[in-house]
Amino acid sequence: MKTLKITILSMLLIGSLNGLNQEYPQQQPAEHSGEAIKIEKENMWRSASLSPAAFRSLATIPGGLTEPGIGTGLEFSMGIQGILSYFEAGVLRTGSGGNKFYGVRAKYMSSLTWATFADEVGQVVSCHPVVVGGVFTFGGASPLLHGLFRARGGTDFLLGYSFTPYDNLVYGTGNLIGDNVTFGVTGFFGLELFTGERTSIYFDAGGGFKMHTGDEENPYVIASSWLGSGFMLRLGMTFYR
């Protein structure tokens, strides 16, 4: 009987110790706890960082497309080329994979100030030229990088008309440049950054020339012909459907 009591007490004591171990688990050394926290933070960061595949899975576009920046988009931009500032609005079409694009835009260009020209005999003329026209653009882009942006480059072809509406408004001069056809070519390279599933902003830099036909004896034609040639900067936004 005494032996049985000792056995029962031993079993109860062992059960109590096991319960204490389960309720109060042994603490890991400080260095192991710190390492575990570090690993957990790294895993959280990796899960928060979107890989290209993860970004494409989130940015599903209607029509079965699974990459951002694919299909048709409306784009708006403003920039400067030479001494002309400008605004553009148009439609852009990007092919599968985003490696090729083309589009058309309406363009309004205006001189930053009155342009002054002196010819070889000392005749001085001043005007404020404006250009309205259409632009055809085409180019290519890199694959999506880090799920957020892609590099791109292309060429713009301008066809339009030059006139002097501000001179006519202030002085009643009519179009000082006269009948003309305005044209130009600009090359550019830039980056497109996706700010959402269907929206992006882009920054382009490049350069080119702009000129127009007209009466070669008219000093205003000579004064305004090459305005808008030179270095170009552009900032724009695209809304993909």
Residues 130-150: tens digit of each pLDDT: 999 999 999 999 988 888 999
| Whether this model's pTM surpasses 0.75 | no
Tally of domains within the chain = 2
Domain presence at residue 62: no
Write out the residue range of the structural domain in which residue 39 sits: 2-48
pLDDT of 101 reads 94
Q: Which of 53-57, 79-83, 86-90, 222-226 has the lowest mean pLDDT?
A: 53-57
Asked whether residue 22 is assigned to any structural domain, the reply reads yes
Task: Give the span between the Cα atoms of 227 and 177, in whole angstroms.
Answer: 13
Q: Which of 9-23, 30-44, 202-216 reaches the highest mean pLDDT?
A: 202-216
Q: Is residue 24 part of a domain?
A: yes
Find the angle CA(117)-CA(120)-CA(126) to the nearest 5 degrees: 15
Alpha-carbon separation of residue 14 from 19, 26, 103 (angstroms): 9, 17, 81
pLDDT computed for residue 118 by the predictor? 82
The verdict on 20 and 137 lying in the same domain is no
